[in-house]
A = this chain, B = another copy of it.
Amino acid sequence: MVPTGTLLVEAARRAGVEIAQPCGGQGRCGRCAVQVTAGTVRRRSALRLSAEDVAAGYALACQTVVEGDVRIAVPPQEKIERRLTTDRTAVEVQVPAGYDPARVQPIRRVTLTTTPPSLEDQTDDWSRIQKALRQHARLAETHISLMQLRRLGHILRRGDWQITVVLDAEAWDCPHCPVRLIELKRGLVSEDAPLWGVAIDIGTTTVSLWLVDLLTGRVHAQVAEYNAQIARGEDVISRIIYSGKGSGGEELRDLVLGTIKGLVEEVCRRVQIAPTEIMKATIAGNSTMIHLLLGIPARSIRLMPFVTAVNHIPTLTAHEVGLAIHPDATVDCLPGVASYVGADITAGVLSSGLDDTELVTLFIDVGTNGEIVLGNKDWLVTVAASAGPAFEGSGVQHGMRATKGAIEEVWVNGDTYEPTYRVIGGVKPRGLCGSGLISLLAEMFLTGVVDKGGHINTNLPTPRVRTGDHGPEYVVCWAADSAEGHDIVVTNVDIDNLIRTKAAIYAGFTVLAQSVGLSLDAVEQVLVGGSFGKYINVEKAIQIGLLPDMPWDRFQFLGNTSIKGAYLALLDRRARNRIKEIASRMTYIELSADNTFYEAFTSALFLPHTDLSRFPTVQAAMGAKNGKA
| Identity of the chain B residue whose Cβ is nearest the Cβ of A128 in the assembled complex | B307
**0/1 per residue, A101-140, Cβ < 8 Å to B?**
0000000000000000111111111110000000000000
Q: Is there contact, CB below 8 Å, between A308 and B143? A: no
Q: Is there contact, CB below 8 Å, between A153 and B593? A: no
> If A120-B593, A154-B297, A300-B153 touch, does A309 touch B146 (CB 8 Å cutoff)?
no
**0/1 per residue, A211-250, Cβ < 8 Å to B?**
0000000000000000000000000000000000000000
Q: Is there contact, CB below 8 Å, between A308 and B124? A: yes
> If A294-B146, A310-B126 touch, does A119 touch B305 (CB 8 Å cutoff)?
yes
| Identity of the chain B residue whose Cβ is nearest the Cβ of A593 in the assembled complex | B119
Q: Is there contact, CB below 8 Å, between B592 and A126? A: no
Chain B residue numbers with a CB within 8 Å of A308 are: 124-125
Chain B residue numbers with a CB within 8 Å of A124 are: 307-312
- What's the minimum C-beta distance from A589 to chain B, rounded to whole angstroms? 11
- Taken together, the copies of this chain in the complex come to 2
> If A309-B153, A312-B126 touch, does A119 touch B300 (CB 8 Å cutoff)?
no
Chain B residue numbers with a CB within 8 Å of A150 are: 294-297
| Identity of the chain B residue whose Cβ is nearest the Cβ of A142 in the assembled complex | B314
A598: interface (CB < 8 Å): no
Q: Is there contact, CB below 8 Å, between B590 and A125? A: no
| Identity of the chain B residue whose Cβ is nearest the Cβ of A116 in the assembled complex | B305
| Identity of the chain B residue whose Cβ is nearest the Cβ of A157 in the assembled complex | B300
Q: Is there contact, CB below 8 Å, between A122 and B294? A: no
Chain B residue numbers with a CB within 8 Å of A314 are: 143-144, 146, 149
- What's the minimum C-beta distance from A320 to chain B, rounded to whole angstroms? 5
Partner of A311, one of B127, B305, B312: B127
Chain B residue numbers with a CB within 8 Å of A305 are: 117-119, 121-122
A176: interface (CB < 8 Å): yes
A500: interface (CB < 8 Å): no
A299: interface (CB < 8 Å): yes
Partner of A307, one of B125, B149, B296: B125
A143–B180 CA distance with the chains assembled, in angstroms: 15
A304: interface (CB < 8 Å): yes
A306: interface (CB < 8 Å): yes
A152: interface (CB < 8 Å): yes
| Identity of the chain B residue whose Cβ is nearest the Cβ of A591 in the assembled complex | B119
> If A125-B309, A312-B127 touch, does A149 touch B119 (CB 8 Å cutoff)?
no
Most buried by B among A144, A146, A176, A306: A146
A316: interface (CB < 8 Å): yes
Most buried by B among A153, A297, A316: A153
A47: interface (CB < 8 Å): no
| Identity of the chain B residue whose Cβ is nearest the Cβ of A141 in the assembled complex | B314
> If A146-B321, A150-B296, A153-B299 touch, does A588 touch B122 (CB 8 Å cutoff)?
yes
> If A153-B297, A295-B150 touch, does A306 touch B125 (CB 8 Å cutoff)?
no
A299–B156 CA distance with the chains assembled, in angstroms: 13
A338: interface (CB < 8 Å): yes
A297–B148 CA distance with the chains assembled, in angstroms: 11
Q: Is there contact, CB below 8 Å, between B294 and A119? A: no
A339: interface (CB < 8 Å): yes
A430–B312 CA distance with the chains assembled, in angstroms: 65
Q: Is there contact, CB below 8 Å, between A149 and B310? A: yes
Chain B residue numbers with a CB within 8 Å of A119 are: 304-306, 590, 592-593
A144–B309 CA distance with the chains assembled, in angstroms: 12
| Identity of the chain B residue whose Cβ is nearest the Cβ of A331 in the assembled complex | B146
A306–B121 CA distance with the chains assembled, in angstroms: 10
Q: Is there contact, CB below 8 Å, between B307 and A123? A: yes
**0/1 per residue, A281-319, Cβ < 8 Å to B?**
000000000000011110110001111111111101000
Chain B residue numbers with a CB within 8 Å of A149 are: 294, 296, 309-310, 313-314
Q: Is there contact, CB below 8 Å, between B300 and A125? A: yes
| Identity of the chain B residue whose Cβ is nearest the Cβ of A311 in the assembled complex | B124
Most buried by B among A121, A127, A150, A294: A150
A117–B296 CA distance with the chains assembled, in angstroms: 18
- What's the minimum C-beta distance from A382 to chain B, rounded to whole angstroms? 12
Taking CB atoms and an 8 Å cut-off, the chain A residues in 563-604 that contact chain B are: 588, 590, 592-593
**0/1 per residue, A334-350, Cβ < 8 Å to B?**
00001100000000000
Chain B residue numbers with a CB within 8 Å of A310 are: 124-127, 149, 152
A240–B222 CA distance with the chains assembled, in angstroms: 48
Q: Is there contact, CB below 8 Å, between A309 and B126? A: yes
A273–B310 CA distance with the chains assembled, in angstroms: 31
A592–B121 CA distance with the chains assembled, in angstroms: 13
Q: Is there contact, CB below 8 Å, between B122 and A295? A: no
Chain B residue numbers with a CB within 8 Å of A143 are: 314
- What's the minimum C-beta distance from A220 to chain B, rounded to whole angstroms? 29
Taking CB atoms and an 8 Å cut-off, the chain A residues in 367-413 that contact chain B are: none
A120–B593 CA distance with the chains assembled, in angstroms: 8
- What's the minimum C-beta distance from A596 to chain B, rounded to whole angstroms? 14
A257–B176 CA distance with the chains assembled, in angstroms: 35
> If A119-B304, A308-B125, A590-B122 touch, does A146 touch B176 (CB 8 Å cutoff)?
no
Chain B residue numbers with a CB within 8 Å of A321 are: 146
| Identity of the chain B residue whose Cβ is nearest the Cβ of A295 in the assembled complex | B150
- What's the minimum C-beta distance from A129 to chain B, rounded to whole angstroms? 10
A308–B122 CA distance with the chains assembled, in angstroms: 8
Nearest 8 CB-CB pairings of A with B:
A119-B593, A126-B310, A124-B308, A153-B309, A124-B311, A117-B307, A119-B305, A125-B309
Pairs across A and B, CB under 8 Å, 10 listed: A119-B304, A120-B593, A124-B307, A124-B311, A125-B307, A126-B310, A149-B310, A150-B295, A153-B296, A157-B300
